[in-house]
Amino acid sequence: MKIKITFDKLYVTDNGDPSHETNGELYYSFKVNGKSLISRSKSNPKKVKDKATIQLNKCKELDVKDNETIKVSGYVGDSDKGFNGKDEYDDFSVILKNSNNWKEGSNSVHLVDGRLNVTLYYEVEIEGSTNTTGLNTPKKSASLTLVSFDDSKFYNLVQNAHNNYSLGFEGYDKSVLMKKVYTSFPKPSEHVKDTTKKKFLEKLTELADNGYFIDVIIHSHGTYEKVTLDDGEVITNNDIQSLATGKYAGGKFPLRMVYMVNCNGSTLNNNFINAGAKAVCGAKFINFMPNQANKFIREWNDGERFDTAIRNSDTASSRTVMHSLIVADSKTTKFEPKCKIFSTVLGKSDCAEAYFTKFWLAKKEYDSNKSGKDNMNASSKMIISGDAGLRKADRPSW
């Protein structure tokens, strides 16, 4: 199969220099499978104004097999020239493969750091492909926030986390909240009180059929390859993959990003990717840090990269709050051996391991060589799949 990748242009929203400076000094490099196709060195930057377009018009043709991958990568920087001693700089890496239809069609990558804000446009063409005419190119944005918890230890963590569900309504053409009761403000475009699996899948398909690409935020429990809802409902890996059927087959279901609060969410990452999601994240094991969802969504709304928003949400203060709640919980529950005076389950001790492996983590998930605090942090680590550089401003095709 022959695939042609064309770097079309760079649109410069902000050239990185202060407003009193006319031109920024941009340097950049764009590669296919590690080989530079077009570049401008830092020693010979291109001087550009805000709102300028840099025409690239460089292409690369490759012969690939179905089981191979193509890596499109690059960076853009603004030579600081002494303003603050540090260049604005952002890079990206995107994998093209059969399961994401090689990203056939028009693509864009946003590169942002400080004042620097540029967009790379590139095209992927497949020789002899019949997919182009049927390419799913939704034009409207939607968010779907699912909130479904039963009463449990994790529910108590979430309640104390004070998650602000309305953050998931901002900046979308349509926002849908699936939650049995919601009386807060602001309101979503649509409040669905039915939180069953059937309604969740139906609502996703309805949004897709109506021309929306969708950001999904899941606030719920989870186990291995399952999202466990209240009333005993379970969304399985097979349910997620069922979205990719009919006209949405071949990874065409228009999920842009999926953020999962549910425990063991990472075990569903590949299922969402295979259905069509561009970027997904979920916790490695138990997610002790559901409160980090608020800052992630704020960062996402502010235009940060998917991975940067996740990294920035993992703050010391957010961890400290949940560490304190765990200590409080351990003091009101029975387990042996109890912690010695002046020590807690956050330390490295038999009592910490006894507490966490009785109430939270499987023995194989708990590292005895680490403290209880470090085990909480490691368990809650968000595992990213897909396009880590994705931004809310991106309008992908499927």
Domain boundaries along the sequence of the chain: 2-134, 140-316+382-386, 317-379
Q: Given this structure, which CATH class describes domain 2-134?
A: mainly beta
Query: Which residue's entry shows tokens 């590169």?
Result: 111
Amino acid 133: pLDDT: 46
Tokens read off for 291: 């409160």
| Cβ–Cβ < 8 Å for 256, 277 | yes
Annotation: CATH topology of 140-316+382-386:
Rossmann fold (3.40.50)
Amino acid 374: pLDDT: 98
Amino acid 110: pLDDT: 77
| Cβ–Cβ < 8 Å for 288, 326 | yes
Rounded to whole angstroms, the Cα distance separating 286 from 319 reads 14
Smallest CA-to-CA distance from 79 within 126, 118, 47 is with 47
Smallest CA-to-CA distance from 306 within 32, 86, 110, 34 is with 110
| Cβ–Cβ < 8 Å for 164, 294 | yes
| Cβ–Cβ < 8 Å for 236, 192 | no
pTM as predicted:
0.73
Amino acid 321: pLDDT: 93
pLDDT tens digits in sequence order for the chain, 398 residues long: 899 999 999 999 888 887 656 788 999 999 999 999 999 999 999 999 988 999 999 999 999 998 899 999 999 999 876 455 678 898 888 888 887 778 888 787 878 787 788 889 899 999 865 444 456 789 899 999 999 986 556 555 555 557 899 999 999 999 999 999 999 989 999 999 999 999 999 999 999 999 999 999 999 999 999 999 988 899 999 999 899 888 888 788 999 999 999 999 999 998 998 899 999 999 999 999 999 999 999 999 999 999 999 999 999 999 999 999 999 999 999 999 999 999 999 999 999 999 999 999 999 999 999 999 999 999 999 999 888 889 998 888 88
Amino acid 157: pLDDT: 59
Exposed, middle or buried by CB within 10 Å (0-12, 13-18, 19+), for 346?
buried
| Cβ–Cβ < 8 Å for 345, 360 | no
Smallest CA-to-CA distance from 148 within 260, 313, 238 is with 260
Rounded to whole angstroms, the Cα distance separating 295 from 33 reads 34
